[in-house]
Amino acid sequence: MCIRKNVYILACFILWACGSKSGVPSSPGQAAETVYMNGGRFLMGNTEETDATPQIEQDIPAFYIHRYEVNVASFREFTLKTGYRTQAEKNGGSYVFDPQGSPDSPGLPSAPWWKYRKGADWQYPSGPGKPAAKDMEPVRHIAWEDACAYCAWLGMRLPSEAEREYLAQSGIREDDAVNTWQGIFPYKNEGTDGFASVAPVGSFPADRNGLYDISGNVWEWCADPYHAGWYTFAAALGTEARRKGPSRGYDPEDPYGETRVIRGGSFLCSDNYCSGYAPRARMRSSVRLSFEHIGFRCAR
């Protein structure tokens, strides 16, 4: 008993000394760490949302995945070495979360709290004149093509939707603390989890796979086109085709556009509006747009 108590005290001291509350990477090398994931079989999808039914069997080979969301410092290194400019930089603006903003600001019809702001990009997530993005925050205002370009630079790729759900199902515990929204969305952001906006990557405890922020903080791009009926089609396909995902998408809310899958929810997900942080929840975003709450991580 005495030994156990001493071990407990020692463990507490070590955790305290290492900063047990935070897994925030302390170096660029740590920020770029990957985790080896054993492959496995699982049931993808749920029984409630029409675009995620029926449940389909998936068989995932082993792969590597970034331990953290890609952060601002890492993305800056990419732009400095390659001269890459994001879609938001080339377009001259991006969408910021602004529920109280001027009614004259162009907002998205389906979600009027998203306002287009000139000059908003990965370096200035809230727009010009607002605080610059901090190095350890997840990089945001990243369009799908930007995420692909960064991953390719590393010799990596975006994870498939099947891989992302495999990570979520195998990693997330029901009572895990993650960066979401507390209060009534979109007007009352209580921030009782310590962060009203993004948290530095790794601020919340690691999941069972040793990964951070798979749920919450920022949404993360997947490789797959979004197809609302994909699970129905996939159920009749072979293992490899099911795993690979659709070659073309179909989004009934954007039938002439191109949307791609995002996963994991963000700091803006609340119980009253968005369940995107749930392991089986699907979401998508237009490849033409970028937002303050979408980032990514890479796989290979």
Q: Residues interacting with Ca ion, by CB under 5 A? A: 179, 193, 195, 213, 217, 264, 267
**Gyration radius from the chain CA atoms:** 19
CB of 93 or CB of 264, closer to Ca ion: 264
- How far apart CA 13 and CA 136 sit, in angstroms, is 26
Instruction: For residues 244 and 130, give the distance between their C-alpha atoms in angstroms, rounded to a whole number.
Output: 41
Quote the least distance from Cβ 209 to Ca ion, whole Å: 13
Closest listed residue to residue 294, CA positions, set 273, 271, 250, 264: 264
Sequence-distant (6+) residues with CB within 8 A of 193 are 177, 178, 179, 180, 182, 204
* Dihedral angle of Cα 81, 86, 91, 95, to the nearest 10 degrees: -140
CB of 69 to Ca ion, least distance (A): 5
Q: How far is the CB of 182 from Ca ion (least distance, A)?
A: 7
User: Judged by CB, which is closer to Ca ion: 181, or 231?
Assistant: 181
Q: Which is nearer to Ca ion, 125 or 264 (CB)?
A: 264
| 163 vs 213, beta carbon nearer Ca ion | 213
From the CB of 14, what's the least distance to Ca ion, in Å? 28
Sheet of 294-295, strands arranged across = 283-286, 259-263, 219-225, 294-295
**Least distance to Ca ion, CB of residue 221, Å:** 10
Q: Is 195 or 226 the residue whose CB approaches Ca ion more closely?
A: 195
- Shortest separation between residue 190's beta carbon and Ca ion, angstroms: 9
Specify the residue, 123 or 217, whose C-beta has the smaller distance to Ca ion: 217
Name beta bridge partners: 261: 284
* Contact indicator for 94, 278 with CB cutoff of 8 Å: no
